[in-house]
């Protein structure tokens, strides 16, 4: 089976208006998608319909065609972290339309003045999407003129966030990309383009999708686009009824999946769509080709995501992350309040910014106790969302100047000694990387816990007593303690990661030591706060500022 190759993009990268080829307020029809893979192929320089001296890339040995992208199947293990970094920075700069036009004759023929595109022309909007998917992701798509044409950078942002969310909350607690890890996702309302499953499969070789929609035409095109990229085995396109559950795990005989994603219909009614369009002081930046089924639903985006929240309250841990992209910040406020009302404390937010005109917001929530990274969970403007932000999952417990010539090994020994004196379920330290991961059943560092443990130990070591009830109680406590120690880390109330870094100064500048603490697992934020405070105090007894007397 062929899979899309990674084609190195233009010399300059995109961050221009995502409005530039999307409806004034973006939206999509209804239902999911699942599938994995992406190839890291050996590249070679060749021409794609332009100047022979201009760079572009295709898989080694592939025959070049302006209308087709070929790629070789490559094992997931060959996809490296550097590939992920390539995708992360892909659209960090503005697109160079002139350079893109040189590499793609079809786009080049639509340029005005050699470097501009008319986004009011639906054909231009469509061709730019096709060009970016082909040159940057090795993907081919067939798009109808009467359905939404997705802006690639904006859709790519959603995939980048999902990767962060899943990588930082995996069952391995590694907090990094694991190429061999299989991931299943559900794309609700995948649309004719099938853009989210295609983008994800192009970047992550071990990902698979279920893609759903209620629109027959969109389903037909989505299946065609999966076939064009030889991804039928990784992307299952499913037609759904508009009144059916949005997350059809039972209907599809699926026990669990890793995530749900949706770009919901934005408007509550067609009249709202038309009214808002009339209120615009200027024409939209781009042609809107979407059908009403893609842009309108009862209750708008809040109503649609509320349905997903309701279903998640039933499915709960059968999905690790439920996510949605939103077009209004006010929707974020309403939906976070709804999550809190239902006792959901593990949630994440992200702002997607492309250029200086369009913003989108992402919301994710989970019934699992594994916590995502700070970048994945609090990637929003603090001033605008301060009251609804999730708890931080990463803090610098200590950043302090230390005396010149401080021994990093001394700091490491202090940290390890502190951890080893605690009654942890698990604790592992990587000496080479100066990082450790641990798990506890609760606050095992408090004075109250230590006193309770001392009493318990005294009861188990004291001579036999005449009171058989007391002896049985002591035995029960000891057995409980043993069972807790033998139990795995999955159900532990608190999980954490620690890292120490010492930066050596020069010419009289004091060294600086940093202790970073990462909340990996748990629902009780007060445990994280208390643990961080305990660590700070323990390390401060070792590290002293040279100015301190």
Domain of 508, CATH number, reads: 3.30.310
The CA angle 342-331-316, to the nearest 5 degrees, is 30
Identify which of 226, 247, 253, 316 has the alpha carbon closest to the alpha carbon of residue 37.
226
75 lies in the same domain as 25:
yes
Three-class DSSP category at 453: helix
With beta carbons less than 8 A apart as the criterion, state whether 303 and 331 touch.
no
Mean pLDDT per 10-residue section of the chain, whose length is 549 residues: 38 36 36 32 29 30 34 41 82 91 92 87 93 96 92 95 97 92 98 97 97 97 98 98 96 98 76 58 51 68 96 99 94 96 97 80 98 95 79 91 67 91 95 94 91 73 54 50 58 94 69 89 97 90 58
300 lies in the same domain as 171:
yes
- Can you name the residues that pair with 98 across neighbouring β-strands? none
251 lies in the same domain as 398:
no
Does 376 reside within a domain?
Answer: yes
* Beta carbons within 8 Å of 311's beta carbon, 6+ residues apart: 245, 246, 247
Boundary-marking domain end, from 388, 420, 437: 388
115 lies in the same domain as 223:
yes
**SS3 sequence of 167-212:** HCCCCCCCCCCCCCCCEEEEEECCCCCCHHHHHHHHHECCEEEEEE
Total number of domains in the chain: 2
Does 203 reside within a domain?
Answer: yes
237 lies in the same domain as 124:
yes
Does 54 reside within a domain?
Answer: yes
405 lies in the same domain as 362:
no
Which residue range is the domain that position 119 belongs to? 18-388
CATH of the domain at 301: 3.40.50.150
Three-class DSSP category at 43: strand
137 lies in the same domain as 32:
yes
pLDDT at 279: 55
pLDDT at 113: 86
346 lies in the same domain as 419:
no
184 lies in the same domain as 267:
yes
Does 457 reside within a domain?
Answer: no
> For the chain, how are helix, strand and coil distributed in percent, rounded to 5?
35, 20, 45
Identify which of 196, 178, 61, 216 has the alpha carbon closest to the alpha carbon of residue 139.
196
Three-class DSSP category at 428: strand
Boundary-marking domain end, from 388, 412, 440: 388
Does 525 reside within a domain?
Answer: yes
With beta carbons less than 8 A apart as the criterion, state whether 498 and 424 touch.
no
Give the count of beta carbons closer than 10 Å to the beta carbon of residue 251: 11
CA distance 371 to 453: 29
Boundary-marking domain end, from 318, 353, 388: 388
Three-class DSSP category at 400: strand
CA distance 437 to 96: 44
pLDDT at 468: 57
Does 23 reside within a domain?
Answer: yes
Does 328 reside within a domain?
Answer: yes
372 lies in the same domain as 438:
no
- Can you name the residues that pair with 261 across neighbouring β-strands? 187
377 lies in the same domain as 418:
no
Q: What tokens were used for 88?
A: 């992360």
pLDDT at 399: 82
- Can you name the residues that pair with 113 across neighbouring β-strands? none
57 lies in the same domain as 185:
yes
The answer to whether the Cα torsion of 195, 196, 199, 201 is positive or negative is negative
Does 166 reside within a domain?
Answer: yes
Q: Classify residue 380 by its DSSP letter.
A: S
- Can you name the residues that pair with 58 across neighbouring β-strands? 44
Between 329-341 and 300-315, two packed helices, what is the crossing angle to 10 degrees? 30
CA distance 238 to 245: 13
Side-chain-facing half-sphere of 376: CA atoms under 13 Å: 24
């Amino acid at each position: 089976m062929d899979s899309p190759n990674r084609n190195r993009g233009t010399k300059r990268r995109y961050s221009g208006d995502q409005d530039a080829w999307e409806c004034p307020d973006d939206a999509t029809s209804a239902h999911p998608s699942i599938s994995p893979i992406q190839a890291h192929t050996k590249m070679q320089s060749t021409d794609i319909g332009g100047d022979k001296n201009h760079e572009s890339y295709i898989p080694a040995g592939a025959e070049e065609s302006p209308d087709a992208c070929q790629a070789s199947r490559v094992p997931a293990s060959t996809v490296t972290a550097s590939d992920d970094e390539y995708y992360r920075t892909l659209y960090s700069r503005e697109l160079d339309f002139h350079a893109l036009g040189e590499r793609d004759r079809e786009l080049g023929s639509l340029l005005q003045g050699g470097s501009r595109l008319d986004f009011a022309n639906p054909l231009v909007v469509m061709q730019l999407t096709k060009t970016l998917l082909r040159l940057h992701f090795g993907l081919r798509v067939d798009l109808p003129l009467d359905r939404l044409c997705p802006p690639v950078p904006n859709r790519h942002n959603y995939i980048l966030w999902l990767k962060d969310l899943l990588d930082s909350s995996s069952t391995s607690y590694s907090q990094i990309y694991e190429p061999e890890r299989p991931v299943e996702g559900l794309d609700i309302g995948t649309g004719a383009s099938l853009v989210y499953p295609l983008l994800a499969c192009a970047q992550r070789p071990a990902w698979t999708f279920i893609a759903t929609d209620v629109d027959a035409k969109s389903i037909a095109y989505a299946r065609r686009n999966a076939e064009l990229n030889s991804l039928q085995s990784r992307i299952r396109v499913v037609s759904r009824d508009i009144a059916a559950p949005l997350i059809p795990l039972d209907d599809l005989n699926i026990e669990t999946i890793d995530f749900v994603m949706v770009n919901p219909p934005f408007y509550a009614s067609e009249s709202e769509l038309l009214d808002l369009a009339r209120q615009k002081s200027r024409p939209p930046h781009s042609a809107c080709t979407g059908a009403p089924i893609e842009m309108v639903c009862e209750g708008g985006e809040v109503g649609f995501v509320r349905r997903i929240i309701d279903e998640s309250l039933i499915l709960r841990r059968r999905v690790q992350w439920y996510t949605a992209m939103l077009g209004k910040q006010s929707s974020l406020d309403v939906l976070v309040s709804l999550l809190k009302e239902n006792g959901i404390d593990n949630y994440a937010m992200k702002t997607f910014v492309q250029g200086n005109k369009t913003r989108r917001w992402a919301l994710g929530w989970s019934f699992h106790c594994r916590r995502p990274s700070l970048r994945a969970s609090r990637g929003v403007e603090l001033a605008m969302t301060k009251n609804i932000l999730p708890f931080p999952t990463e803090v610098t417990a200590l950043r302090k100047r230390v005396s010149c010539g401080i021994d990093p090994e001394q700091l490491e020994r202090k940290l390890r000694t502190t951890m080893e004196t605690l009654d942890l379920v698990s604790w592992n330290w990587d000496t080479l990387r100066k990082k450790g991961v641990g798990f506890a059943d609760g606050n095992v560092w408090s004075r109250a816990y230590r006193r309770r443990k001392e009493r318990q130990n005294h009861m188990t070591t004291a001579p036999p007593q005449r009171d058989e009830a007391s002896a049985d109680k002591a035995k029960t406590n000891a057995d409980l303690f043993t069972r807790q120690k033998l139990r795995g880390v999955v159900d532990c109330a608190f999980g954490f990661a620690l890292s120490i870094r010492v930066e050596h100064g020069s010419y009289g500048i004091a060294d600086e030591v940093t202790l970073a603490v990462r909340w990996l697992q748990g629902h009780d934020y007060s445990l994280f706060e208390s643990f961080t405070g305990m660590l700070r105090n323990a390390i401060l007894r070792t590290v002293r500022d040279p100015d301190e007397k």
